[in-house]
Chain A
């Protein structure tokens, strides 16, 4: 069991991921933009963050910069969950310490659970920055 923060502005998807991950036995907290995620992180220390990139108020990249993943939270795995392929934003997310980047529309729920298990078992991600 792990502690997971979901940061996804699409409420239907956020809710779906939450159901799937809770069903797998994980402790889950939901946020709907980067700003809300930073607030929730004051009281919640996750093992893994499932992060969307395009969000209102504060997007995924700005969140990663503010959270300072590489320096302050190297033990936390960040999985980028987006529908943008090969975009500069994805490359930037890797530079900011993201562990993996997954295309949402290709990923079935059982694969999501597997990807998260794999990420949790992997060694801490190295930054390309």
Chain B
């Protein structure tokens, strides 16, 4: 308290009464424990959420009386309970879990546990949690809606692409080179729309935790070669060189082919998109003792320093890019980060405005599982 603070000083009893009133009136469930995790105080909302009375909870060991499950319904071990983590780290812990009510029903909750520290020693903890049943349901409905909407958007696209290809291939008679060129533009537009739908679907899956990962040993160099060919073909109109730098030794890793390809394709496409004519994009893979490191470097416009910590945020587009490129969605790198995390990997970059950007992707081998899928095909489970 500073010398200028004129707040009246409270007695210990007054402070206790104030804390009690605060605890009771919190709109979320609140439970406090001693340093052993025994419950010392419970507010009415907590009792309502978990279905136990105050008398049933006081003095009980918190992790024992209230069973916690992960969001995919696996029992959470004592060591992984937020309260344990708060004690061990001395820091507030934020998590989503499922609590089992006294009746046996499950209730999804969002939890914040803060340790009560005195001179660095834990005296106990306060856990505040709220019922997120409605939020989870809305989230599920949102994901279902996007999934269905994406599917419905693809149906007319299929007709646009199929008939355009048929016209080009001469199924309806001969056409002029100018007509062929126009049809290719239509197909390219349809492909962009298709990519966008895939991005939306993938983001929905990542956000709802339903993306399928099918590990398989892949030949990284040949996947990168394929990506470089595909992107070079797509970017044939732009004078940016896309190069796959050969690895000193053949590189393989067990990962999900489609997700890996999606990540690297996005990075290379971004490189081409944000590099001026005459520049280059270089992709290289290197196997290290514990992981695979893929780098994608370009000689592009770079990411301004003040935008660097936002670059993986949803819908974010750096100001120097918005001025030059109007077609982006700001979803590409957000998706890439989500996909990298799905593979348990890490992504980071170094960038200097006006000189270029280098992305680093580090992934570790995944455990063995059944087959992966080629593009455009859904594999047999």
Contacts and interface: CB of A to CB of B under 8 A. Distances in A.
Interface in B148-180: 151, 154-155, 157-159, 161-163, 165-166, 169, 171
Contacts of A80: 378
B194 A105 contact: yes
User: What is the size category of the interface that chain B forms with chain A?
Assistant: 20 to 34
- Listed residue (B151, B162, B201, B211) with the most chain A CB atoms within 10 angstroms of its CB: B162
A104 B154 contact: yes
Interface stretch (A29-37, A38-46, A83-91): A83-91
A108 B212 CA distance: 25
A101 interface: yes
A19 B137 CA distance: 45
B212 A19 contact: no
A109 B166 CA distance: 7
Interface of B: 147, 151, 154-155, 157-159, 161-163, 165-166, 169, 171, 190, 194, 197, 201, 205, 211-212, 375-381
Given A86-B212, A94-B381, A103-B376, A16 B162 contact: yes
A1 interface: no
A110 interface: yes
A83 B166 CA distance: 20
| 4 shortest interchain CB distances as A-B pairs | A106-B376, A83-B154, A104-B158, A101-B378
Given A94-B380, A100-B377, A104-B154, A109 B194 contact: no
Interface in A93-116: 94, 100-111
A108 B161 contact: yes
Nearest to B152: A83
Contact of A110 (B169, B211, B380): B169
A119 to B, nearest CB: 12
B161 A19 contact: no
